[in-house]
Amino acid sequence: MTSTRDRIQEGAPRASKRQFRERRKSFKTSSNIPVERVYTPENVDPGELGLPGEFPYLRGVHPTGYRGKLWTMRMFAGFGTAEETNERFKYLLEGGQTGLSVAFDMPTLYGYDTDDPAAAGEFGKCGVAVSSLADMELLFDGIPLDKITTSMTINAPAAIIWAMYIVAAEKQGVDPRNLGGTLQNDILKEYSAQNEYIFPPEPSMRLVTDTIEFATERMPRWNPISISGYHIREAGSTAVQEMAFTLADGFEYVDWCLGRGMKIDEFAPRLSFFFNVHNNFFEEIAKFRAARQVWAREMSETYGAENPRSSWMRFHAQTAGCSLTAQQPENNIIRVSLQALAAVLGGCQSLHTNSMDEAWALPSEQAALLALRTQQIIAEESGAADTVDPLGGSYYLESLTEQVEEGAYDYFKRIEDMGGVIPAIESGYIQREIAEASYAQQREFDNGEQVVVGINAYTDGGELSIPLLKVDMEGERRQMSRLAEVRRSRDDRQVASTLQQLESAAGRSENLMPPILDAVRAYATLGEIMGVLRNRFGEYVPTWGI
């Protein structure tokens, strides 16, 4: 069996060295991979590519591709109150959406109740506020949770929010075993890119491992983690960095689960991924194909997975939010269409398309429906879903795929030499790599090497006036009133008892999901439950930049 270290030392398979011709203008991908004028067998020999559904799944995990089943069309939505978000969910489902995806507001993402002083002024700005089980019940009122899958973008407080979803389903009479969906729950990328962490890395990883273990034992249809490169890319990384750091995080989660005593084929089939889809059409397709192949080989050859599903990289994709412009917002429709097509040609299992107005504010109903229609037109009218991996065998695409993979293995080696992902994060290495890539891209934009239509080229000369996103004061008042009613009507002794049990369990090595579920059933709030864990685990303060 080839170890990760052996594969890293050997490097990814690569073509013979090439001399790139001098030219008037140097074309490169976002990862600075030089782009030739034309590609021939001299650049790369695709050899035997294999078939879709065959290991190492370069061409897709399913032999029938989208001829068997279209990708899930899952539009991200979240407004201040649970009632408003529930209305948007129903509107999108009526429009043909096939899965739900929840955006939470900033206090929820940081584990605070709406009425906490630390949450002041942030209610509902980037998603829905969920402070207790009562909010979760309203959020999915009238939506049968055994017939729809739900994705939840939540990380540090993921275990608590997931518990609220599970209990809300129980109250609908749905057995948790019948629940399908995905919990983002990827704390490692928070330290390196998005910064919505709370606890230090070790207790955070314990919580993630608890959720994976709980889902493995009790919820066979649920993906307990979505290992996310999306936010790494939004922070400014290149495509190669996004793939490399995401997969490195994935290997770290696998190591922690194995350290818990779990077997690879018990939990690996339910691991999922979440990638960004940026503007360089062919590089993005190559990124998805390379990532799928690398993950399959490492799961099989390094970790010894025997179940084929353990080696499948199943991924959700979202078009690049950072590529959207407030100027000439109609241009975003074209950007999103091309990005969505790249995700489909790359073999995604689930897709969100951004709305054209998201650079201004939360998307309007019309813009959200147009974004959904973009996916439906690709699915039904473009022919992209008629055959599996239609670009496979392209000299250019296969060369890019190989070079993206090669770049990823270079990063794996560097991270391995540092002792793994957590030391690489704590030293600031990954953060600095992303920051330097972001800076380089900004310089290219500033000097005109990187063209953004409507921003530094083809501008209309008009001044831009962006409206301020304001707090919904009436919605915030209703939310606080509901939270106060929850506290008045619940059994305080039961709440205190369940919180005490959670505090005791956190001091031992047992799985924390059962006591968290008990606290949620008693209507303990998000802030109360997180407060117990904050007291036990402490809060993380990075030192690498000091």
pLDDT tens per residue across span 36-80: 999 998 888 767 789 999 999 999 999 999 999 999 998 777 777
pLDDT of 385 strictly over 90: yes
CATH number for the domain that contains residue 396: 3.20.20.240
Provide mean pLDDT across the span 136-155.
95
Provide mean pLDDT across the span 90-100.
89
On whether residue 263 sits in a domain, the answer given is yes
pLDDT of 134 strictly over 70: yes
pLDDT at position 98 is 83
On whether residue 26 sits in a domain, the answer given is no
Cβ 388 vs Cβ 64: under 8 Å: yes
DSSP secondary structure string, 491-525? -HHHHHHHHHHHHHHHTSSS-SHHHHHHHHHTT--
* Tokens 């992902």 found at: 421
What is the Cα–Cα distance from 134 to 151, expressed in whole angstroms? 19
**Mean pLDDT for the chain?**
91
Strand partners, 100: 75, 150
On whether residue 388 sits in a domain, the answer given is yes
**pLDDT band at 543; cut points 50, 70, 90:** confident
Which candidate, 383, 173, 152, places its Cα nearest to that of 163? 152
Cβ 192 vs Cβ 201: under 8 Å: no
Strand partners, 276: 318
- H helix or E strand, kind and range, residue 473: helix 473-489
pLDDT at position 521 is 98
Task: Quote the tokens at residue 536.
Answer: 């036990």
On whether residue 150 sits in a domain, the answer given is no
pLDDT of 193 strictly over 50: yes
What confidence tens digit (pLDDT) does each residue in 454-468 have?
999 999 866 556 555
pLDDT at position 178 is 97
Q: Is the peptide bond before 56 cis (omega within 30 degrees of 0)?
A: yes
- H helix or E strand, kind and range, residue 168: helix 158-171
Cβ 169 vs Cβ 176: under 8 Å: yes
What is the Cα–Cα distance from 159 to 205, expressed in whole angstroms? 12
- If you count them, how many residues does the chain have? 546
What is the Cα–Cα distance from 402 to 164, expressed in whole angstroms? 43
**pLDDT band at 546; cut points 50, 70, 90:** low
pLDDT at position 501 is 98
pTM comes to 0.93
On whether residue 292 sits in a domain, the answer given is yes
**Count of domains forming the chain:** 1
What is the Cα–Cα distance from 229 to 46, expressed in whole angstroms? 27
Work out the percent of the chain whose per-residue pLDDT is above 90.
Answer: 80
pLDDT of 471 strictly over 80: no
Provide mean pLDDT across the span 145-173.
96
On whether residue 407 sits in a domain, the answer given is yes
What is the Cα–Cα distance from 472 to 453, expressed in whole angstroms? 34
On whether residue 105 sits in a domain, the answer given is no
pLDDT at position 476 is 85
What is the Cα–Cα distance from 534 to 546, expressed in whole angstroms? 23
110 vs 122, 124, 400, 503, 507, CA distance in Å?
Answer: 11, 13, 39, 19, 22
pLDDT at position 183 is 97
Task: Quote the tokens at residue 167.
Answer: 């209990």
What is the Cα–Cα distance from 182 to 10, expressed in whole angstroms? 35
Which candidate, 184, 344, 407, places its Cα nearest to that of 274? 184
Produce one character per residue of 517-526: b if its CB has 16 or more CB atoms within 10 Å, e if not.
bbbbbbbbbb
pLDDT of 292 strictly over 60: yes
What confidence tens digit (pLDDT) does each residue in 214-231 have?
999 999 999 999 999 999
Strand partners, 272: 226
472 vs 103, 119, 136, 145, 220, CA distance in Å?
Answer: 16, 14, 19, 28, 39
Phi, psi of 430 (to 5 degrees): -65, -40
Cβ 518 vs Cβ 501: under 8 Å: yes
pLDDT of 18 strictly over 50: no
Domain range holding 323? Answer: 184-446
Which candidate, 184, 430, 414, 404, places its Cα nearest to that of 293? 404
Give all strands of the β-sheet with 315-319 in edge-to-edge order: 222-223, 181-183, 150-153, 99-103, 72-77, 350-352, 315-319, 271-277, 225-228
- For β-strands 150-153 and 181-183, DSSP reports them as parallel
When mean pLDDT is compared across 200-204, 336-340, 356-360, 430-434, the lowest value belongs to 356-360
Cβ 242 vs Cβ 186: under 8 Å: no
How far from each other are the two terminal CA atoms of the chain, in whole angstroms?
42
Provide mean pLDDT across the span 423-430.
97
Task: Quote the tokens at residue 48.
Answer: 């035997």
pLDDT of 23 strictly over 60: no
Task: Quote the tokens at residue 307.
Answer: 């179940």
DSSP-derived secondary structure letter, 389 = S
On whether residue 176 sits in a domain, the answer given is no
Strand partners, 351: 73, 317
What is the Cα–Cα distance from 444 to 416, expressed in whole angstroms? 31
DSSP-derived secondary structure letter, 99 = E
Q: What is the dihedral of CA 14, 19, 20, 23, to 10 degrees?
A: 180
**pLDDT band at 4; cut points 50, 70, 90:** very low
